[in-house]
Chain A
Amino acid sequence: MDGSLNALTMFSLVLLVAVLGSVRRSHIRVEYSVSWLGAALLLLVLSRSPALMAWVAKLVGIEDPPLALLGAVMAVFLFVFYRFSTVVSDLKEANIALTQRVAILEYYLQSDHESRKA
């Protein structure tokens, strides 16, 4: 179990550093880094307090702490993926609306240009 917790601690720290680095280089916008940073911090806290991990395992009725750890990791990342699915969907909606608006404005411009020429 200690090995798993240490590996999770390392993973959380790497995730934290990678996300903060990406935000600094503007590869990830601040608002979209919050989910990742929250997930990394949560995993860090869980990995550094076996008592809390045992309490969570008991709460969800999983006897085996490593299994509970795996469940916690999966739950955290499922939440992050869900959040990004909603973000991607919103962006796609916005993209469609923008694409249609650009096409319509281009149509108006072209029509205006042709009527001036005529």
Chain B
Amino acid sequence: MKRAAGPGELMIIVPAFNEEAAVAGVVEEIQRVVPGVPVLVIDDCSADGTAAAAKGAGAQVLSLPYHLGLGGGVQAGYRLAFELGYEYVIRLDGDGQHDPAYIPKLFDVLKTSGCQMVIGSRFVDPEAAYTSVARSWGIRFFRIILRPILGKTVHDPTSGYVGVNYDALALFSKSFPLEYPEIEALVVLQRKAFRFQEVPCKMRPRRTGRSTITAGKSLYYIIHVLLGVFVNILKFERHRWRW
């Protein structure tokens, strides 16, 4: 177990579910970009050899005994990083969509901007945008919905390429949305008066497998996320309504 040696230490977390074919490449790429930075792969009870592939590539592995879904896995990673004393955590997906080349840029902005969270965004720079048409429309929809709630435009609210500092890490290690966590997490941060900033990134097609948000699940995704946003607003505004 590698505890943080001191303040300012970074840990990279990589949630992965059935990513045996892609995860080793992701870990090796991260190690080439930021050598010496610990990489923690959170294996969300995969049925394939994800954990062994990650370990073989040199990552530490946190194996969940049963499948929790993306939010539960990411929160487990945040909890461990928080307990080990890391001040910064950057999360990228295990399917290879997030280019590790942007980690130094995200880390730099996280350290110098005073923001509690940075988001790797594919839409700040329109030329860097890579996504499907359906997802692109979904992102536009949530951009419009979130604008009045967050008080600013978030170009890529569904991006899972994020970095958090100690304050956000402390918050998320206690409470984090279970399913489709990205958008709800933004609302939680905003309600806590935390700040976040987008950093332009290029995204790549996933190396293997398919997205968990299929066409059939898209409607469920939209309803779930809208409800989650609404509930988080109610939760954090509750004290204002008390007499």
Contact = CB atoms under 8 A, between A and B. Distances in A.
Interface of A: 96, 99-100, 102-104, 106-108, 111-112, 115
Contacts of A100: 64, 68, 72, 75-76, 79
Nearest to B42: A103
B225 interface: no
B115 interface: no
A11 to B, nearest CB: 35
Given A103-B64, A111-B2, 5 more contacts: A99-B66, A99-B72, A100-B72, A106-B63, A107-B60
B1 A103 contact: no
Contacts of A107: 1, 60-63, 80
Given A104-B76, A106-B63, A96 B178 contact: yes
B83 interface: yes
B65 A96 contact: no
Contacts of B80: 104, 107
A-side binding surface: helix, strand, loop or mixed? helix
Given A96-B178, A115-B1, A103 B72 contact: no
Interface of B: 1-2, 60-66, 68, 72, 75-76, 79-80, 83, 178
17 contacts: A99-B72, A99-B76, A100-B64, A100-B72, A100-B76, A103-B62, A104-B62, A104-B76, A104-B80, A106-B63, A106-B65, A107-B1, A107-B62, A107-B63, A107-B80, A111-B2, A112-B1
B1 A102 contact: no
Q: State the 4 A-B residue pairs at the shortest beta-carbon distance, nearest first.
A: A111-B1, A100-B76, A103-B64, A107-B62
Contacts of A108: 1
A68 B194 CA distance: 52
A102 B62 CA distance: 10
Which of A100, A102, A104 has the most B CB atoms < 10 Å from its CB? A100
Contact of B65 (A99, A111, A112, A115): A99
A104 B82 CA distance: 11
Contacts of B63: 103, 106-107
Nearest to B80: A104
B181 to A, nearest CB: 13
Nearest to A107: B62
A112 B68 CA distance: 25
B83 A103 contact: no
Contacts of B65: 99, 102-103, 106
A1 B66 CA distance: 52
A96 B68 contact: yes
Contacts of B68: 96, 99-100
Contacts of A96: 68, 72, 75, 178
A104 B79 contact: yes
A21 B63 CA distance: 40
Nearest to B40: A107
B73 to A, nearest CB: 9
Nearest to B78: A100
